[in-house]
Amino acid sequence: MIYLNGKFMPIEEACIPVLDRGFIFGDGVYEVIPVYSRKPFRLDEHLKRLQYSLDGIRLKNPFDNDEWRHLLEQVVAQNDGEDQYIYLHITRGVAKRDHAFPVNVAPTVFIMSNPLLPPPAEMLISGAAAITAVDNRWARCDVKAISLLPNVLLRQLAVDAQATETILIRDGFLTEGAASNIFIVKNNILLAPPKSNLMLPGITYDVVLELAAADQMAHEVRPISETEVRLADEILLTSSTKEIMPITSLDKKPVGDGKPGKLFTRLHALYQNYKATRMRGLTSGTAG
Ligand code: PDD
Mind listing the pLDDT tens digit for each residue in 111-146? 999 999 988 888 889 999 999 999 999 999 999 999
Q: Is 195 left (phi over 0), alpha (psi -120 to 50) or beta?
A: beta
Q: Taking a C-beta distance cutoff of 8 angstroms, is the pair 234, 185 a contact?
A: yes
Mind listing the pLDDT tens digit for each residue in 69-116? 999 999 999 999 999 999 999 999 999 999 999 999 999 999 999 999
Q: With a 6 A CB cut-off, is 181 part of the ligand 1 pocket? A: yes
Name the 3-class secondary structure at 15.
coil
Q: With a 6 A CB cut-off, is 168 part of the ligand 1 pocket? A: no
Angle 191-192-197 from CA coordinates, rounded to 5°: 155
Please name each of the domains of the chain with its CATH number.
Answer: 2-115 (3.30.470.10), 121-279 (3.20.10.10)
Share the mean pLDDT of the chain: 96
Q: Which of 30, 155, 240 to mutate to test the pocket of ligand 1 (most atoms within 8 A of CB)?
A: 240
Report the amino acid identity of residue 130.
A
- Residue 81, classified by CB atoms within 10 Å of its CB into exposed (0-12), middle (13-18) or buried (19+), is middle
The CA–CA distances, whole Å, from 18 to 15, 93, 96, 118 equal 9, 11, 10, 35
Rg for the chain (alpha carbons), in Å? 19
Q: Residue 153's CB: how many other CB atoms inside 10 A? A: 14
Q: Which atom of ligand 1 is nearest to the CA of 205?
A: 13
Ligand 1 centroid – CA 156 distance (Å): 16
Indicate the pTM of the whole model: 0.96
Name the 3-class secondary structure at 203.
helix
Q: Which atom of ligand 1 is nearest to the CA of 240?
A: 15
> CA-to-CA distance for 204 and 178, rounded, in angstroms?
15
